[in-house]
Structure 1
Amino acid sequence: MRLVVLVALGALALSGCTSGGDVTDEVVGPRDGGATVDLESGSGSDPQVSDTAPEDPQRRITLAFAGDVHFEGALASLPDQPGSTVGAMSRRLRSADLAMVNLESPVTTRGTMAAKEREVAGDRYWFRSAPAALDVLDRSGVDVVSVANNHGGDYGVRGLRDTVRAARDSPVAVVGIGRDRDAAFTPYRRTIKGTDVAVLAADSSFRESSDPIWGVLPGSGPGIASARVPYVKQLTSAVRAAARVDDLVIVYLHWGDEGDACPTGDQQSLARDLSAAGADIVVGTHAHTPLGAGL
């Protein structure tokens, strides 16, 4: 039986750019219907094309991917407001069978700001979110949150431990972080309309600090799942293991260059490695600009 997935919101592809950074492929965004992916044939098309209709409409599932979210500045008080959500986007997130965002911070109110000695001093930022932020995302229709990004370790080991603790009682699944290496690369699993789905997350953005929390290694304690060298093998191994038992494997990454709509060579190489390992969908955030969408 053919499985068809409708991907909504910002899917990221690794083609369609010119040297000037213009996106020439269609951008799949909140105003678009999404794109259908035939996981049997590997083909993709516009959602209006009838020849991609599933044999069993009851098995069609919709995935929604949104980008970076934090609760700093003007949004700092949002988690304290009863019934608060992320606004109009919530309708789209709630309508999906599975919705995912990137939470650009650890979930903690404690800790000390981590060193970011590799970044230009004027570009250094430290974010954190109280556990109530996870309730906001839950009310907004989010099912899965990645904290594998360049702010997940902003408040050091204590912030990471608090995040792992908050994840245990969270109304949404938290991926890309763990008390040890195996936990950080463990996927979130869920069966949707008879389809077994696995979701992994990892950070492949510019490393702002030499602190080991931004790349969890054996015996290093809590940390963030990384997709940089030498961590790529751990991620591809986790994808390969998931592909052996799950019908649909999703990898959500923090990658690319800020402000650049075109994929880097590292992104293209990583995407090929993940696809070869068995990933069906690779989607990412961090560039702060819409990226090309393709299948």
Structure 2
Amino acid sequence: MIRFEGVTRRYGDRAVVDRVTLDVPDGSICVLLGESGSGKSTLMRMVNRLVEPSAGRVLVNGRDVTATDPETLRRGIGYVIQSVGLFPHWRVAENVATVPRLLGWEAARIATRVDELLALVGLEPGRFRDRFPHELSGGQAQRVGLARALAADPPLLLMDEPFSALDPGTRRGLQAELRTIHAETGKTILFVTHDVEEALALADTVAVLEEGRLAARGRPAELLERGTGAPVRRLFGEESLAFHRLATLPASTIARPEDAAGDLPILPAEASLKQALMLMLSEGSDRLAVPPTGEFPGGTLYWADLVRPA
């Protein structure tokens, strides 16, 4: 879907992005992870031509983005940013309908699409359609921003630190919502963050940037398993690499396939070992009941196995 070929962006003598080559597979979530100033947002903005490369090429579906008029290109790419950018004098429905109106959709089709998308992002259409942005919480506004980006059903979604200004609980909820939306729509998502936890929660593939260069790339579990490169160690922390790795492993891998005795806390079937550890600590329990999933018949997860996995 997206290919960066030796992409560089210079401002004067400084290369903000330096000879990056990276493929983002169709239908995947690729997270650009790095500290502030690492070049991740600049790299993303080359996809919709908000930034032009000084050298190299950016291809979407095999076509150089510079071969398409910028406005036409952007109407076919969803874009979500940290500040949301809703039009304050427009109601929610009008904000969501921005691109479909520009594309000349009929009013009935737009109205139907707006209601579908509000429901998809967890906002009841009857309650939220006619509200103004100032009447929304931060999390609700970001959901509207996501609905607006999805309105014309673009195959590609760019998300530039969209949840970073939100409180932790709202942020986790929106991360889960995004994974659900991705599973339902199969869109290609390029997501920028400096937050390691967020990258691990969302990514199919993580691309680590440092000083404008691509320092590491791989699936979250692969990066944490290797974890030997200095940029990865700096981002994840030497001491916490193993703890972060727990977030990439499903709890069912070490749960014992036995009947869960007693009234134990229930761990969702798709939960990670890290989530299991946090649930045990919060519940003060040394065991969890794990429901059946896939080929795993269900069973019990023990604290002793979690901290000393076989």
How high is the TM-score relative to the length of structure 2? 0.27
Q: Which structure's residues are more often helix, by fraction?
A: 2
If asked which structure has higher relative contact order (CA below 8 Å, sep 6+), I would say: 1
